[in-house]
Amino acid sequence: MTAGKAFPIAVKAVVIDLDGTLLHTAPDLAEAASRMAAELGLPPIGLDEIKTYIGNGVSRLVKRVLTRDMDAEPDAELFARALPVYEKHYAEGVSRESRPFPGVVEGLQALKQAGYRVACITNKAEKFTLPLLKDTGLFDFFELILSGDTLPKKKPDPLPLLHACERFGISPGQLLLIGDSLNDAQAARAAGCHVFCVPYGYNRGRSVEELDVDAVVPSLLEASKRIVKA
């Protein structure tokens, strides 16, 4: 964690990660993985293991479920069969159990009332992102939503953050990213943005205290108190 940062930080826009930051989506992701594993005759997989696999999009999640490894590549034919099975099950229950984390709605309300530009940037595919935000009542808080397949590259690449800066007409130093993982920290540092992380999300089972971030905040509401309108 970066030391010596003076608070509050002056920014004009706040972009927020989805899985593990805005919404507790792991139960629905895990349920889809369990159903996929059963349909393919694979060993069962639990929620705690699934949490460590979240953050790099559905394709990588499926590969991790197939290999039970963070970086291994499964058999290509198996993956080609598995991905549509997973997507089918996830689409059927994308928001069945997913809910905002404590402080999320209050934090979004505070950000909007203070006049910040607010965006959601996720590695989740748009076909899952939009229904999920609408079903959980968060969609209308965001004037910009960038999914994992909106642009040619996704986090940890800085492109989505730089795209948001361009869209909002601001410099990277006027943008804050709030996330929950190494992906978010790396994307923000590469883009030159400020970054906070929440400790309750899905950082591959590792503590966010280890990450290069400006602050670890317990909630979005608390994050809104660490910034001021530039």
**21 CB-side CA count, 13 A:** 33
SS (H, E, C) 76-117: HHHHHHHHHHHHHHHHHCCCCCCEECCCHHHHHHHHHHCCCE
By annotation, the residues acting in catalysis are: 17
Name beta bridge partners: 15.
119, 177
**208 CB-side CA count, 13 A:** 26
Name beta bridge partners: 178.
16, 196
Sheet of 175-179: strand order equals: 144-146, 117-121, 13-16, 175-179, 194-197, 215-216
Q: Is 177 within 8 Å of 121 (Cβ atoms)?
A: yes
Which residues lie below 8 Å from residue 61, measured CB to CB, with a gap of 6+?
29, 33, 50, 53, 54, 86
Torsion sign over Cα 97, 140, 195, 214:
negative
